[in-house]
Structure 1
């Protein structure tokens, strides 16, 4: 019998599909015109004229501005592409991008420059006083996590950068360097001291969690491997970061958070509540959950002697408690609503991407019998004398590291966004002040650069999963020469600080699952579910179709 049942989660369309109700009706007639020869000639002529003048504009006034991506209709430009979203948006990006030539996309409600190619990416993501992410961060903080307006305004006004010293000309109050505070918190959360507390705690919780499922030594069917994995990981991560209080006070937090996370693409659009009230309701329930947790943590801490430890029963990971000092230093900027928004943002950052990424790691290894055997053999080399696993050996194993990296290359689609603070030259291209600059890991990870041939002469195209792609001829793991080409976590000082623990989470979960269970896929040989591109830009992509499997406890 099935071990889990998928909870009801409303299907949330991509940001642009929801936009269809507002703009697509006016466009529809344009796309159903009679396909006679004259119409085709006229449309082709208009497209050619628009494209020509777009490129001609790049050379005007002595400045070389990025050309616009080709489109059919001057007024609507690329609106229809974004209205359709999903695979249409992803394929358009792949088709229209130009290596080391920035390209402009614009339409109703958006205008940005898409940058591709190692040279431009390195320059665009180098932290300096010209490109920063405070405006995008402020916008998303409000839309995704319901941060109060004063917090969003303060974030947008924070032009101080992330360094120890603020950018020249910045006069932000030291305590209100909110972007810098984010970096300080995450650097503390994933410091060696915190990791020495966090990694063993997470591994312990994984080992405990596997007994919570009604799985014996006879085969049990899994209607959806992804749902099972989500149930397996979510609670382990929450308890490892926040302590048991978060679950005890909020027994439905997994269900509520799953619905909220499914609505993230909609919330990011900034569209009104009436278009999807459940998105706002699920977010409100998650905010209420973290408020209950924080109130209880404060209550349990009252009257206790202040201790700076890496774990606190009331607060969870020590860095979460220490962040309160950063809140206090803002001189009243953070109230209950602001701290709740920050706590929810942290929970989302800790859990949303690692679960689908771990699914893909498990799936890609299980679907290849030879790879599965070699992965298990690799795990056996990481055992201590008492049979336990050495976590350091696990995360440093070349084959496992390469498979992990290949999963992130093939199954993530992160969007890195910057705002031009003043007119700036990016190579020979002029970027105007307040222009938005976007980089897509999906584009770079599907570049022909990744088309590879192994020692036996077998081709491994960029669209295929090849576990050994990051191994040298000597069998060592290496990312040499891949800066600006491989960037699932971004680049530079803004690179995701949680990347090291995400690697622990993915590999340790895989270890515990294959050590304690036998798992077999029920899907056809060679089949793989599609990436769900409705979450394009938010990191790890969910599987679009269900993956049936069966599982049993190892004797």
Structure 2
């Protein structure tokens, strides 16, 4: 705000700018945090694996958790040693992120589709790609695409999996929750760290369980398609208690 005032920007425009910052910092990360916790509660194996990783990292770094005490000092190094949580976050983004990517056509071109069809596109046209249906839920790239698989982005040795294929060819963009190319969201690393920190601390201090163990969410708010994180259309009831 100080910089904006120094540049002579009107107060009314500063207000608008701050509203944009509020939106980009909360509008999608909040729903993603909900979905990640829901998926972990819904899939006990995933919850056990992620909690086991959390406890292992705490032990490795000698962090003591005290009931009623200050929050543990969670560091970037600790988060970097959590490949299972990384995969669970990325799988949540694959299932829930539904952005619409718009591109301007800079020259006449022929666009070739995977099925052999060709489209002639003119300079000045605009194209839109919807990764949710084109990539995220393509069963050839992601088998059983509507199921949550917390280890989908892990190799057997726990390294990050980046090899996904379609029609026998390796796919360059196999998950695009933050867009792709030069217009990829500049806040993606910050958002990922927000999600990881939040879930890490929740699992350190609390036990979670769904009030209805077989709870299902088969529908989401379709008005969000093309805009960002999908929202549930109803609340989910769950219980929580302190672990320590």
> What is the TM-score with the length of structure 2 in the denominator?
0.81
Deviation at residue 442 of structure 1 after TM alignment: 1.0
Larger Rg: 1
Deviation at residue 382 of structure 1 after TM alignment: 1.4
Q: Distance in 2 between matches of 1:409 and 1:547?
A: 21
Structure 1: give runs of 5+ residues left out of the alignment: 1-293, 299-320, 453-460
Aligned to 1:500: 189
Aligned to 1:551: 240
Aligned to 1:160: none
Give the superposed CA RMSD. 2.3
Aligned to 1:77: none
Aligned to 1:431: 121
1:358–1:510: 8 Å Cα contact kept in structure 2?
A: yes
Q: Distance in 2 between matches of 1:353 and 1:343?
A: 16
Q: Distance in 2 between matches of 1:506 and 1:482?
A: 26
- Compared with structure 1, are the counterparts of its residues 439 and 516 closer, same or farther at alpha carbon in structure 2 (3 Å cutoff)? same
- Compared with structure 1, are the counterparts of its residues 482 and 472 closer, same or farther at alpha carbon in structure 2 (3 Å cutoff)? farther
Mapping 1:341-490, distance limit 5 Å:
341-383=16-58, 384-387=61-64, 388=72, 389-426=74-111, 429-443=119-133, 444-452=135-143, 461-480=144-163, 481-490=170-179
2:41–2:210: 8 Å Cα contact kept in structure 1?
A: yes
CA deviations 1:26-65 (Å, max 9, x no partner) are: xxxxxxxxxxxxxxxxxxxxxxxxxxxxxxxxxxxxxxxx
1:361–1:403: 8 Å Cα contact kept in structure 2?
A: yes
1:411–1:531: 8 Å Cα contact kept in structure 2?
A: no
Deviation at residue 420 of structure 1 after TM alignment: 2.7
The 3-state SS of whatever aligns with 2:57 is coil
Q: Distance in 1 between matches of 2:76 and 2:57?
A: 8
2:42–2:213: 8 Å Cα contact kept in structure 1?
A: no
- Which one has the bigger strand percentage? 2
The 3-state SS of whatever aligns with 1:370 is helix
Deviation at residue 516 of structure 1 after TM alignment: 1.6
Deviation at residue 526 of structure 1 after TM alignment: 5.5
1:379–1:394: 8 Å Cα contact kept in structure 2?
A: no
2:179–2:185: 8 Å Cα contact kept in structure 1?
A: yes
> What is the TM-score with the length of structure 1 in the denominator?
0.38
Mapping 1:46-125, distance limit 5 Å:
none
Deviation at residue 534 of structure 1 after TM alignment: 1.5
Structure 2: give runs of 5+ residues left out of the alignment: 65-71, 113-117, 164-169
Aligned to 2:203: 514
Q: Distance in 2 between matches of 1:511 and 1:529?
A: 27
Size of the alignment, in residue pairs?
A: 222
Structure number with greater CO (CA < 8 Å, separation at least 6) is 2
